[in-house]
Amino acid sequence: MNQPHVKVSELLGDELGDLEFRVLTGRDSLDNQIINPGLAFAGYYEYIKPGRVQIIGESELRFLETLPEDVRDQRIETITGLDVPVLILTKGFEPLEEIGRYCRDRRLPLLSSPALSSTVIKNVSYFLEEHLVPSTQLHGVLLDIYGMGVLLIGDSGVGKSECAMDLVTRGHSLVADDRVRVRLYPNGELVGDCEEPLRHHMELRGIGIINLQDLFGLAAVRERKTIDLVIELERWDDSKTYDRLGLDETVFDILGTPCPYLKMPVALGRNLSILVEIASRNHVLKLQGHHSAKEFIRQLEADLESDS
């Protein structure tokens, strides 16, 4: 898995448009990669990690101004010479002469925002946390069914989108169709969503691309959802033996994280949407400690012991 990163140029996009960044220096180095957020300017160089954003607010500027000129010059020279992808000035402050000079000489991007330091730190940190967590793309359909994130996977043409459409008409919500972006957060949650321009859209063979929000309203779509259950739709194969009791519990690996998994055979006459709905309800019961198949077997064994 490649090291997640964000290019400095991405900070200038619409997601952080409220910060109104201006590029003061280093416009030809906006491809520098950020690999984690952070801030430091007090001389503790060991805490400056490679690829970390450095925030320069009023406190940092006032601190630098208290230093003797030669010490300030040495401090700024040292920090701008480290593996720092970008410096960000807050509150619309103009950079100290030494900061501007070293950033220009080293082609180091220096951005300025009129926003408060706390606002810049909060917004940039949230942006980087969203973009730097491990992620992957999966071919499937993600739905919110009874508050659970259910990911439908399977071969192309097996009926994932049609099943999802039926579930939406039954009151459930679509998160992503065809391409599901999954992110693994530090708390272990797998969260799926859909990137633009596919968000809220679905492809139905014979009909084309449709917008579910336009057709069914806001309740028919969700922006993101934690993945709680993976169901693989598979064409029925008479040569295979399928689980009939529901005792087999398997997992599906996503970004090294196991997720509960079911394989559901697709055959003519099977109502897939109802089966997926029931599988989701049954999984909710399991999470609450009620495992129907195991309880049935226990009761059966108890009856057999009683008869013997």
Q: Which residues are catalytic?
A: 139, 160, 178, 244
Give the C-alpha separation, 143 to 58, whole Å. 46
- If you compute the radius of gyration of the chain from its CA atoms, what whole number of angstroms results? 27
For the chain, the 3-state helix, strand and coil shares in percent, each to the nearest 5, are 35, 30, 35
CB 242, CB 163: distance < 8 Å: no
Ramachandran angles phi, psi of 173, nearest 5°: -125, 145
Give the C-alpha separation, 136 to 259, whole Å. 15
Query: Sign of dihedral through CA atoms 222, 144, 193, 266?
Result: negative
Q: Which residues contact 177 (CB under 8 A, 6 or more apart)?
A: 141, 161, 164, 194, 198, 201, 202, 203
Q: Which residues contact 114 (CB under 8 A, 6 or more apart)?
A: 20, 91, 92
Give the C-alpha separation, 25 to 30, whole Å. 10
Span between the terminal Cα atoms of the chain, in Å: 57
- In the structure encoding, which two tokens stand for residue 41, read together? 């300017």
- In the structure encoding, which two tokens stand for residue 178, read together? 């065809």
Burial class (CB in 10 A: 0-12, 13-18, 19+), 280: buried
CB 172, CB 180: distance < 8 Å: no
Find the length of the chain: 308
Q: Which residues pair with 204 in a beta bridge?
A: 208
